[in-house]
Amino acid sequence: GAVVSQHPSRVICKSGTSVKIECRSLDFQATTMFWYRQFPKQSLMLMATSNEGSKATYEQGVEKDKFLINHASLTLSTLTVTSAHPEDSSFYICSAKSWGTEAFFGQGTRLTVV
Amino acid sequence: KQEVTQIPAALSVPEGENLVLNCSFTDSAIYNLQWFRQDPGKGLTSLLLIQSSQREQTSGRLNASLDKSSGRSTLYIAASQPGDSATYLCAGSITQGGSEKLVFGKGTKLTVNP
């Protein structure tokens, strides 16, 4: 299957700083990328959907000023957690797909805010 | 509201056994159905995608079926192995706000005992 690369896989940051997570589709062009958050032993929670070249659509309850999403090209989307706090500590996963095709996921990023 | 339900939540079987994981959905707006596996602390690995015009897909020891009329999908794993131990997630594709999204079940945690 196609490869979606997500970096970093783990990051520890101090409270109040910002962290950027990258998601790249390596061998296909993704018209849509998704960002999810996953709490321990729970399923994925969709945070936002981004289409290349347009603003991301955020799910209800997700602060768009805190979780900045940029989808600059068909192969790259970034999620920036701004002014991170310990409650933002979580597992973040990106996904990339084109309409009607398989969704491929990155390996996830474990964010710990201390 | 679209809902995807997976039963059972957890399953433990001896090595070599054939098994079936179930996924049901309440909304006929779901058109494609995709199965994933997730290993602890990792992202999702796509297993099979069944598009709306298809009834089943096979890959190796895995066979997934889709019955849109009854709102059900099953994932059949033949001759299970300890390496199959993981959480299995099904997700249905829907169109919302002009974008294609996935609606996930909560997963079935499979343990295959040697």
Candidates A51, A97, A110: best to mutate against B (most CBs of B within 10 A) is A97
Q: What is the pLDDT of residue A100?
A: 82
Nearest CA in chain A to B109: A41
Model confidence over A16-30: pLDDT tens digits? 999 999 999 998 888
- State how far the Cα of B34 lies from the Cα of A14, in Å rounded to an integer: 38
Model confidence over A31-71: pLDDT tens digits? 899 999 999 888 899 999 988 778 899 999 999 999 999 98
Contacts of A6 in chain B (CB under 8 A): 43
Q: Is the pLDDT of residue A76 over 70?
A: yes
Q: Are strands A44-51 and A57-58 parallel, antiparallel or unpaired?
A: antiparallel
Cβ A111 vs Cβ A87: under 8 Å: no
pLDDT above 90 coverage of chain B, percent = 81
Q: Is the pLDDT of residue B1 over 70?
A: no
Q: Is the pLDDT of residue B2 over 80?
A: no
Model confidence over B48-76: pLDDT tens digits? 999 988 999 999 999 999 999 999 999 99
Record: contact B45-A102, CB cut-off 8 A:
no
Bond into A8 cis (ω within 30): yes
Model confidence over A89-107: pLDDT tens digits? 999 999 999 888 899 999 9
- A43 vs B43, B89, B93: nearest CB: B89
Q: Residue A75 — left, alpha, or beta (φ > 0 → left; ψ -120 to 50 → alpha)? A: alpha
Measured in whole angstroms, how far is the alpha carbon of residue B8 from the centre of its chain? 12
Candidates B53, B101, B103: best to mutate against A (most CBs of A within 10 A) is B101
Cβ contacts of B67 within 8 Å, gap of 6 or more = B55, B73
What letter does residue A56 receive in the DSSP assignment? Answer: P
Model confidence over B73-98: pLDDT tens digits? 999 999 999 999 999 999 999 988 77
What letter does residue B22 receive in the DSSP assignment? Answer: E
pLDDT band at A72 (very low <50, low <70, confident <90, very high): confident
